């Protein structure tokens, strides 16, 4: 069996040592070496040709993000970021995912040695996923200003026929960029959107704020008991499941701290089941790139309740796990490349014409 070759890049000698110990404890991977900064790492990448890179953010001589941007432009390869769970750290980590990192691992704030070892399963699982991920260069994407004419006075032709229609999205590994690519193409008066992305609590608020700055719709971290409005997207907070409920004629959000489902909280299956229960045929379900099977059972329930469901295709996924499982369960109506999903959703809902969807 060929082992996954990992290069560690971190300015902390302690972190380098602990990560090397964790990686070398696995039968299917090995630490080729460790670099204290990107300049040393650059030479080691040339000489050792690793399969996966673990990369710190704050380092001497060159910032981790600058190095990642250059790496993805000149020699794209799987990268797992090592980040701290702070507000500033979450912003940086989201930027790293935008630049092409596959995933991130959170550094503990206290007792680093035992804390990192507690994350052994998470760290090694993410390295395994990264080793199989499809890495491609990301082209710059222009985004129209949020406050344009459509946002102030939406076009009247083919307006949303019913405010009860909803878009329900689930994603995991690679999902932060996939969700962004979907949302930035949607018109400002599209149906309300509920999103579950597997992500720690410290990151979801920053993630929602970033999506809000890029999209023509409004995006926020979901709160408990708020009305779901057209032109708005609600991201599940990292500490709770996000559910759809009804209050009279209105859809509302509900947050639950019930136990994890499929090892996740928030879980996609929980959101999808609630959409099946309360939205039925008024919903369009979308399952995007991600590791595991979360969402497969719930998407089938949505289809059985009358929803129209779309799965991201294998070629455009970073990890074709969750969409593959949803397809195998029989809950998917269409399989599409990521860039085609927004247009198809709007066409199915019969809302704005194709000219209103940005390309």
Residue 157 and residue 306 in one domain = yes
Residue 26 and residue 108 in one domain = yes
Q: Which residues are catalytic?
A: 172, 198, 294
pLDDT of residue 85: 54
Q: What are phi and psi of 38, to 5 degrees?
A: -65, -30
Residue 126 pLDDT > 80? yes
Residue 205 and residue 79 in one domain = no
Residues in contact with 1: Cβ distance below 8 Å, sequence separation at least 6, in sequence order: 27, 28
Dihedral (CA of 278, 281, 282, 287) sign: positive
Residue 321 and residue 216 in one domain = yes
Residue located via tokens 């979450």:
90
Residue 116 and residue 154 in one domain = no
Helix intervals (H) in 100-224: 112-118, 120-132, 149-152, 175-183, 201-214
- What is the CATH classification number for the domain harbouring 261? 3.40.50.180
Residue 174 and residue 113 in one domain = no
pLDDT of residue 128: 96
Residue 97 and residue 173 in one domain = no
Let me know how long the chain is.
359
Q: How far apart are CA 70 and CA 150, in angstroms?
A: 36
CB 173 within 8 A of CB 289: yes
Residue where one domain finishes, among candidates 132, 161, 187: 132
pLDDT digit string, tens, across residues 141-158: 444 343 332 332 233 333
CB 252 within 8 A of CB 225: yes
pLDDT digit string, tens, across residues 261-292: 988 999 999 999 999 999 999 999 999 999 99
Residue 120 and residue 177 in one domain = no
Residue 155 and residue 67 in one domain = no
Residues in contact with 141: Cβ distance below 8 Å, sequence separation at least 6, in sequence order: 181, 184
- Confidence band, pLDDT 50/70/90 cuts, at residue 82: confident
Task: Report the percent of the chain where pLDDT is more than 90.
Answer: 70
What is the span of the domain harbouring residue 63?
A: 4-132
| Nearest Cα residue to 338 out of 180, 209, 189, 202 | 180
CB 290 within 8 A of CB 319: yes
Residue 199 and residue 324 in one domain = yes
pLDDT digit string, tens, across residues 163-186: 479 999 999 999 999 999 999 999
Residue located via tokens 């993410």:
126
- What is the CATH classification number for the domain harbouring 50? 3.40.50.2300
- For 181, the 3-state DSSP assignment is helix
Q: Measured at the alpha carbon of residue 235, what is the angle toward residues 307 and 144, in degrees to the nearest 5?
A: 95
Q: In the 8-state DSSP scheme, what is residue 354?
A: G
pLDDT higher for 180 or 353?
Answer: 180
């Amino acid at each position: 069996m060929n082992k996954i070759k990992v290069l560690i890049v971190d300015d902390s000698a302690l972190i380098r040592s602990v990560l090397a110990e964790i990686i070398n404890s696995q039968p299917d991977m090995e630490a080729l070496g460790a670099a204290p900064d990107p300049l040393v790492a650059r030479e080691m990448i040339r000489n050792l040709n690793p399969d996966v890179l673990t990369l710190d953010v704050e380092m001497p001589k060159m910032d981790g993000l600058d190095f990642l941007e250059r790496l993805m432009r000149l020699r794209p390869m799987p990268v797992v970021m090592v980040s701290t769970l702070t507000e500033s750290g979450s912003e940086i980590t989201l930027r790293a995912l935008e630049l092409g990192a596959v995933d991130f691992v959170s550094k503990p704030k206290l007792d680093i040695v035992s804390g990192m070892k507690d994350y052994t399963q998470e760290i090694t699982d993410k390295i395994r996923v990264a080793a199989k991920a499809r890495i491609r260069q990301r082209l710059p994407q222009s985004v129209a200003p949020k406050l344009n004419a459509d946002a102030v006075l939406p076009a009247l032709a083919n307006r949303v026929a019913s405010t009860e229609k909803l878009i329900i999205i689930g994603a995991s590994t690679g999902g932060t960029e996939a969700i962004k690519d979907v949302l930035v193409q949607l018109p400002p008066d599209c149906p309300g959107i509920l999103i579950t992305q597997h992500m720690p609590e410290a990151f979801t608020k920053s993630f929602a704020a970033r999506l809000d700055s890029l999209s023509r719709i409004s995006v926020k971290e979901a709160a408990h008991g708020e009305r779901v409005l057209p032109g708005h997207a609600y991201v599940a907070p990292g500490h709770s499941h996000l559910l759809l409920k009804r209050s009279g004629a209105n859809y509302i959000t509900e947050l639950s701290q019930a136990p994890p489902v499929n090892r996740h909280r928030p879980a996609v299956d929980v959101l999808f089941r609630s959409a099946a229960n309360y939205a039925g045929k008024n919903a369009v379900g979308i399952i995007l790139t991600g590791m595991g099977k979360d969402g497969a059972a719930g998407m089938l329930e949505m289809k059985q309740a009358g929803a129209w469901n779309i799965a991201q295709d294998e070629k455009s996924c970073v990890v074709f796990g969750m969409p593959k499982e949803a397809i195998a369960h029989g809950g998917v109506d269409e399989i599409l490349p990521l860039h085609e999903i927004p247009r198809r959703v709007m066409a199915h809902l019969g809302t704005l014409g194709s000219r209103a969807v940005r390309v």
